[in-house]
Structure 1
Amino acid sequence: MNPAVTGALLGLVAGLGLALVATRAVAIRRPRLEDRVLPYVRDLTPARRTTTPAGARSTATLLLGPLLRRAADGVERVVGGAPSVRRRLARSASSLSLHEFRVQQVQWGLVGFAIAAAYGVLRTWTRPSSPLPLLLACVGAFACGVLLRDNRLSAQVRRREAAMLAEFPTVAELLALSVAAGEGPVGALDRVVRRSGGELSRELGDVLARVRTGEPVADAFDRLAATTGLSVVARFAHGIAVAIERGTPLADVLHAQAADVREAGRRELIEQASRKEIAMMVPVVFLVMPTTVLFAFWPGLIGLSLSY
């Protein structure tokens, strides 16, 4: 084939490819429907009103988005466990959807794959070997990256729930004092949410937002009890719902629950101290004591061996 014709064909193919890329980039950069509607939605907490502008997304994300989405669908089919992931995303107060979380898992897996591939290339340059073990190592690194992102989500859930458990007695006492001062449940909840900050206050802020949209107070607290992963917070929300429905004195219920949580925290601290004490004895028994015994009996053994 004539070189001029070959160059013309290559230029035509490159031009068509660039035109397709530009068309796709323009289509992706259009603002989404939720980004256009969400600023006009009322009765939402400030954290839920934040949107990501279309221009803030990187070009690589825009161009590689379809491939990442297809890879995320493949990870979803292989790994599964969508209900568990949704619950953990809700418990961690993450703004990610299930599909966005799967995309992040693919990204973490690609990072692990790239690290393993770079190591394999360097090893091949220094010592040629079969490519099959290197390929298996790259696949294993990809799987480790996917699982590591899932493990990080579980760690975020545990950290957030530990913070909620630490905040619970103070928040319950503040609610009890507000109710005892004569405020209603909604007014006391609004005061505590405005005056405090933290993970539990954020959950109560969501409850307050649902109440202000017209949902009954008892139903809003029942929903909190159903979605939280802490049994203490679930009992707290369910107790408030029952107290509101039956007319039970709410301040007494809140004081009793705060006292129960403090007592449970004290017991947990004592148990933790006992476990630490046992763990502290391990180096003493297995390291310090054998060394002491050796220094004590070694001169005697040497003397007996010399005498015989």
Structure 2
Amino acid sequence: MTPAVWGGLLGATTAAGLLLVGFRVAATRRPQLDTRVLPYLRDLPRSGPSPRAVQTAPPRSVVAAVYGPLLRSAADAVERVLGGSTSVRRRLERAGLDRTVHDFRVEQVLWGLAAFALTAAYGVLDALGDPSGVASSAVLCIVAFALGVLARDSHLSGQVRSRERRILAEFPTVAELLALSVAAGESPVAALDRVVRRSGGELSTDLARVLAAVRTGEPVSAAFDRLAAATGQPLVARFAQGIAVAVERGTPLADVLHAQAADVREAGRRELIEVAARREVFMMVPVVFLVLPVTVLFAFWPGVVGLSLTTP
């Protein structure tokens, strides 16, 4: 085939793709028939929800309108293959991400597609020089897609660990502020409101959710019990359970909060000592393999040179 024929085929394919995109965008923007007609038929009984309730949110871009259904189908397939939606939902809550499990699966698909595209680009460049490696490049693309999906899951676990470290770093200060507010005569809800308004961080965000639940009518003990069940840190869970028990049984709350803050500081001190003990072994590596050989060389090298000069 001549280059002119190839150019015509490529132009026709591009034009057909643009027409399909235009038709799809026009179809998504056109209101449905029931949305236009049913509001004027007020006398007819309606067994289901109203059309406005059924109508979903419009796509925010042309890309979302065209590729959104494909991404959702791929996300459903990833969910069927991997499973573990309960674990993913719990990790999303612990990471403080306002996403559903389905949104997370869509992100996994996007990460997999990005890895697939990078590997495919490398495969195309490699195939230009060696056409015999097309099969191996296809296998590598599939492996890259799987690794991209798993990398997003691993990144979520990393987000959870990072957020929990920040919560532990903020916890003693927040607990002391709560203890001071309660000792000054404020109620637990007023103390919680004062601390949330004057602090910022991950733990303050969780306490703001607890405060919102309390203001909507949920008991204080139940709200803190729910925080204890949702968190992944035993110290924070023990803190929430201690507040719930103190509110239910009338235990002095300030003493409980001071004790909780002291426990967290002691736990952080023990963890720091354990980390230092583990890193002590790694600190010996440069000493043994770098400093010690150089010291021995400086100590014995003059003697070796002197022996070589005096030896006939």
State TM-score, norm by structure 2. Answer: 0.81
Residues in 1 aligned to 2:199 and 2:21: alpha-carbon distance in whole angstroms: 55
Q: Tell me the equivalent position of 1:126.
A: 129
Matches within 5 A, 1:30-41: none
- Contact kept, 8 Å, 1:25 with 1:62, in 2: the verdict is no
Q: 1:26 to 1:188 in 2, by over 3 A?
A: farther
Q: Tell me the equivalent position of 1:19.
A: 23
Residues in 1 aligned to 2:155 and 2:138: alpha-carbon distance in whole angstroms: 26
Residues in 2 aligned to 1:143 and 1:13: alpha-carbon distance in whole angstroms: 28
Q: Relative contact order, CA 8 A, sep 6+: which one is greater?
A: 1
Partner secondary structure for residue 286 of structure 1: helix
Q: Tell me the equivalent position of 2:140.
A: 137
- Contact kept, 8 Å, 1:105 with 1:145, in 2: the verdict is yes
Greater Cα shift, 110-119 or 268-277: 268-277
Q: Percent identity?
A: 65
- Contact kept, 8 Å, 1:25 with 1:63, in 2: the verdict is no
Matched, 1:164 2:167: yes
Residues in 2 aligned to 1:303 and 1:152: alpha-carbon distance in whole angstroms: 60
Q: Mark the runs of 5 or more structure 1 residues left unpaired by the alignment.
A: 1-9, 38-52
Matches within 5 A, 1:278-297: 278-297=281-300
Q: 1:294 to 1:170 in 2, by over 3 A?
A: same
Letter in 1 for 2:226: R
Letter in 1 for 2:134: P
Residues in 1 aligned to 2:205 and 2:17: alpha-carbon distance in whole angstroms: 54
State TM-score, norm by structure 1. Answer: 0.82
Q: Tell me the equivalent position of 2:10.
A: none
Aligned-residue Cα RMSD (Å) equals 2.8
Give the number of equivalent residue pairs: 278
Q: CA deviation at 1:13?
A: 11
Residues in 1 aligned to 2:163 and 2:85: alpha-carbon distance in whole angstroms: 21
Point out the structure with max Rg over C-alpha.
Answer: 2
Greater Cα shift, 13-22 or 112-121: 13-22
Q: 1:303 to 1:194 in 2, by over 3 A?
A: same
Residues in 2 aligned to 1:163 and 1:16: alpha-carbon distance in whole angstroms: 49
User: Which one of 110, 113, 116 corresponds to residue 113 of structure 2?
Assistant: 110
Residues in 2 aligned to 1:153 and 1:13: alpha-carbon distance in whole angstroms: 36
- Contact kept, 8 Å, 1:173 with 1:255, in 2: the verdict is yes
- Contact kept, 8 Å, 1:21 with 1:63, in 2: the verdict is yes
Q: Tell me the equivalent position of 2:91.
A: 88
Residues in 1 aligned to 2:23 and 2:239: alpha-carbon distance in whole angstroms: 59
Matches within 5 A, 1:146-161: 146-161=149-164
Residues in 1 aligned to 2:30 and 2:192: alpha-carbon distance in whole angstroms: 46
CA offset digits 1:28-65 (Å, max 9, x no partner): 9x9xx9xx99xxxxxxxxxxxxxxx857x221122100
Q: 1:13 to 1:167 in 2, by over 3 A?
A: closer
CA offset digits 1:95-119 (Å, max 9, x no partner): 1100000000000100000000000
Q: Tell me the equivalent position of 1:277.
A: 280
Matches within 5 A, 1:228-267: 228-267=231-270
User: Which one of 180, 201, 204 corresponds to residue 204 of structure 2?
Assistant: 201
Matched, 1:60 2:63: yes
- Contact kept, 8 Å, 2:112 with 2:147, in 1: the verdict is yes
Q: Mark the runs of 5 or more structure 2 residues left unpaired by the alignment.
A: 1-12, 36-48
- Contact kept, 8 Å, 2:24 with 2:66, in 1: the verdict is no
Q: 1:15 to 1:170 in 2, by over 3 A?
A: closer
